[in-house]
Amino acid sequence: MTKIFITHHIPDPDTGVTPYQENSKREHKYPIGSVVKCLEYDATTDTYKETKTSLRLYVVDHTRDCDQEPLYTLSHNTPEEFKEKEATLNNCIVQFTNGLSTTFKGIILNHLLGLSGYSEDSLELCE
């Protein structure tokens, strides 16, 4: 029988801490309301860099992935506008998604109103 290990729950032999535990302690670098540049990934150098087409967007929500890595939801709307539109859209979605999980409804909202899942290394704070 094949065994599957979830690597973010395997402790580091030196520290005894799992990546999940380590990431859970990390705070989000960019506060909600910040304007950030979305950097483009360069596969040749394995880095993110600014380009002429780099978007500047508002940080409207803090999220985390399955490893508890801090992630960001971005939007062209301010956080206040985002929350207002989210509430309006949520009322519509509730009528059409009765019985779906809260998480799934949240995914629908984030994708309709903003861009989700941006990591800190793919963003840069605008001055």
Residue spans of the domains in the chain: they are 7-125
**Which segments of 1-127 are extended strands (E)?**
35-38, 40-42, 47-49, 56-64, 70-75, 115-119, 123-125
Structure pTM? 0.75
Separation CA 59–CA 40 (nearest Å): 17
pLDDT digits (tens, 9 = 90+) for 16-29: 888 889 989 999 99
Helix 79-96 vs helix 102-113: angle between axes, to the nearest 10 degrees?
130
Helices (H), 2-101: 19-25, 79-96
What pLDDT is attached to residue 28? 97
Helix and strand element counts for the chain (H, E):
3, 7
